[in-house]
Structure 1
Amino acid sequence: SQIKSDTENYYIFLDEIQELENFERLVNGLNGHDNTDVYVTGSNSRFLSKDIRTIFRGRGDEIRVFPLSFREFYQALHYDVREAWKVYSTFGGMPRLIHYTDDEQKINYLQNLWDKTYIDDVVERNKVRNELAVSRLATSLCSSIGSLTNPARIANTLESVQKMKIDSKTVSSYIDYLENAFLFESAERYDVKGRRYYETNKKYYCIDIGLRNARLNFRQQEPTHIMENVLYNHLRVLGYLVDVGIVESREMKDGKMSYSQREIDFIANKGSRKYYIQSAYSIPSEEKREQELASLLKISDSFKKIVVVGDEIMPYTDDNGIYFTGLFDFLLKDEWL
């Protein structure tokens, strides 16, 4: 319909707009009115966020919608917190899941999303000839969430384990396709002291832990990796940019000077805020505690340092100024901010 008045505000929502021929002209025409806000969505295979930015020619913003966070899931269903975590860490936060009460329904839904929506969309949009390679690459990334890797290493794994010959350049392109479809995100490695990014090796996290588990037929239920992935997603939902931290140092060991490189699970940045965060599913001994703190103690700046423990603990700050909190307090409350 025609926009008749410049004194009124109009809000126009266009879903699956790519089904309309020459939709770009319509969108730009509507967007040319100062009193009109246009909201556009479309399917993964034919319409990505970068397409929207191109069409709006710098006059639009992207609103990223994530699956439900653990906090949103918990508030929606009112489960006991431990029961909520059990369900969420298994089936994730795709919104439709809250309407299913049967586990088999949830499993079928998630696996159909993979096959009929994500993989098919990635193949269709990018005109991929080797659909099997994309599928097995997705499985490989799901299997190794939170582990450092690169396209060359993944190509070698696919060749040795899956008996699939594929070069690292193709793997890199396929990873880009999967990230553009919002299935995975990558976290780059950042040298805290050198203030530089490493060009090789990244960590990949699945955008929804339920999708990840479904891809692996719910076989790899490692609580440490699942907790780390959920923490990463939680930080992204809160609007933080997330890197993997590296602290390099030289230390005297057995009378010899040696070089060491220690990892910080997450460096979360948003504007002037920065947090160094370690994910520690369990700290059963003093040795494990020292291991978790080693990288944080090597950082000389004053930004807040946090250890998130899988157990339920009373939050506290130790003598080194490091803040300890339990997983549920971190995900459900904002005291750590």
Structure 2
Amino acid sequence: MSIIRSAYLEKIIPFIDKPLVKVITGIRRCGKSVMMEQIQEYLLNHGIESECILSLNFESFLDERVKSLETVSNVVKEIAVNSSGKKIYLFFDEIQELDGWEKLINSYLIDFNCDIYITGSNAKLLSSELSTYLAGRYIEIKMYPFSFAESFEALKILYENISQKEAFDIYVKTGGYPFLYNFKFNEGQKKQYLDDIFNSIILKDICYRYKIRDVALFKVLITFFIANIGTPFSSSSLIKYLKNERQSLSTETVYNYLEYCKEACLLYLVPRQNLKGNEILSTQEKIYLTDHGIRESLFMKNQKDINQILENIVYIELLRRGYFVTVGKTKNQEIDFYVQNEKGIEYYQVCYLLASEETVQREFGAYNSVNDNYPKYVLSLDDFDFSQNGIIHKNIIKWLLEG
């Protein structure tokens, strides 16, 4: 089963046949390869001949064509000759595995009548090299695991008459990795799959690439980050925690490790923004996880820590919608998300349930010192509408499905 990732396809279609390299980045196994297949299917359905399409996966151990720059060049030359002068369409999956790939792509833009699509699981590697060799000649499309809307579509195929609430309960524990929505996996099978993804990101995308020797200590650090998503990050508290574990790291190393996780599209370090002076603050950032299913596989308690999970889900959804997101800070209060988009500014507070008057006052009161007229939201799992004083309350499930 393959759900059409229409939101991403619609971003890519306007750039088909334009002289720009289409770069699809995202965490390992989020669906980039399937996205490439869906683009190829779109091309075939719109008159492009299969002989003009070349697709290579650079993680393959069996495909001799991806072993070196020379073997890749030979197969590209061959398809160019066989196309009889027609434009060729080149799809290169996980291209960062090929040393020297950036020069190769640059030369193809010059030497061939081609349209190029590449994917990669290391955003920094791709962006830095592309900026050097392809300045102004590429467009990046960031991919994420399934949104709740996408997972709900998949679950409706697997489970007849499943409700939105039932689907959301599954999403909270499963996360959004597309493969997990192909079959009716049990909890043990889901955990094994997510554990394997987590270990491959840690070992291949981070430790091997950045030559981290103490893998065990690195995993301790990352599990600490993942356990504490949505809470203000302090390097001093982390170093204290490591000392209690009889481990030690410098602040510089901690931030380097965080940067590696960001580059591997695993974690996000979200800064706070002073809403009065409109300045970015460099302390007490928050950490969020690209896919909350990984957290469930590590700790098996997403439902217990539902407030953190809901906040993480909303943050990733805001990124998925293309928004720039920071944590809002006023003099005495903090707003979960200060969002800038093409329409202007929006504010979001996220909580589990508005179960008491105290909770209502806390969540809605976060906006007391924000005096502008931009939309302000409180998101929770309540079905009853608590909107008041111009502040909009929405059910999280319904808000996610709006996207």
TM-score (structure 1 length as normaliser): 0.87
1:89-104 superposed matches below 5 A: 89-101=172-184, 102-104=186-188
Q: Find the aligned partners of 1:206 and 1:269 in 2 and give their Cα distance.
A: 20
SS of residue paired to 2:212:
coil
Which residue of 208, 214, 238 corresponds with 2:291? Answer: 208
Q: Find the aligned partners of 1:308 and 1:45 in 2 and give their Cα distance.
A: 30
Can you list the C-alpha shifts for 1:256-314, whole angstroms capped at 9, x where unaligned? xxxxx101011111134211010021112222211112221210111100011122234
Can you list the C-alpha shifts for 1:71-101, whole angstroms capped at 9, x where unaligned? 1111222132111111110110011111242
1:118-137 superposed matches below 5 A: 118-137=202-221
CA RMSD of aligned residues (A): 2.4
After TM superposition, give the deviation of residue 18 of structure 1 in Å. Answer: 4.2
**Residue 109 (str. 1) matches residue 193 (str. 2):** yes
Letter of the 1:325 counterpart = K
Deviates more, 1:269-278 or 1:65-74: 269-278
1:41-190 superposed matches below 5 A: 41-44=119-122, 48-78=126-156, 79-101=162-184, 102-160=186-244, 162-190=245-273
- State the partner residue of 1:31: 109
After TM superposition, give the deviation of residue 148 of structure 1 in Å. Answer: 0.3
Structure 2 unmatched runs, 5+: 1-75, 157-161
Q: Find the aligned partners of 1:171 and 1:297 in 2 and give their Cα distance.
A: 36
Contact 1:100 1:106 in 2 (8 A): no
Deviates more, 1:16-25 or 1:232-241: 16-25
After TM superposition, give the deviation of residue 133 of structure 1 in Å. Answer: 2.1
Contact 1:92 1:208 in 2 (8 A): yes
After TM superposition, give the deviation of residue 30 of structure 1 in Å. Answer: 1.4
Contact 2:121 2:265 in 1 (8 A): no
Letter of the 2:314 counterpart = L
Q: Find the aligned partners of 1:67 and 1:274 in 2 and give their Cα distance.
A: 26
Q: Find the aligned partners of 1:214 and 1:73 in 2 and give their Cα distance.
A: 18
Aligned residue pair count: 319
Structure 1 unmatched runs, 5+: 249-260
Distance 1:295 1:219, change over 3 A: closer
Hey, which of these two has a bigger chunk of helix by percent?
A: 2
Q: Find the aligned partners of 2:164 and 2:302 in 1 and give their Cα distance.
A: 24
Contact 2:350 2:378 in 1 (8 A): yes
Distance 1:50 1:88, change over 3 A: farther
Instruction: Report which structure shows greater RCO (CA 8 Å, sep ≥6).
Output: 2
- State the partner residue of 1:228: 311
1:233-244 superposed matches below 5 A: 233-244=316-327
1:231-310 superposed matches below 5 A: 231-248=314-331, 261-310=332-381
Hey, which of these two has a bigger chunk of strand by percent?
A: 1
Contact 2:123 2:265 in 1 (8 A): no
After TM superposition, give the deviation of residue 33 of structure 1 in Å. Answer: 6.2
SS of residue paired to 2:248:
coil
Letter of the 1:38 counterpart = I
Contact 2:335 2:347 in 1 (8 A): yes
SS of residue paired to 1:58:
coil
SS of residue paired to 1:37:
strand
**Residue 12 (str. 1) matches residue 90 (str. 2):** yes
TM-score (structure 2 length as normaliser): 0.73
Letter of the 2:287 counterpart = Y
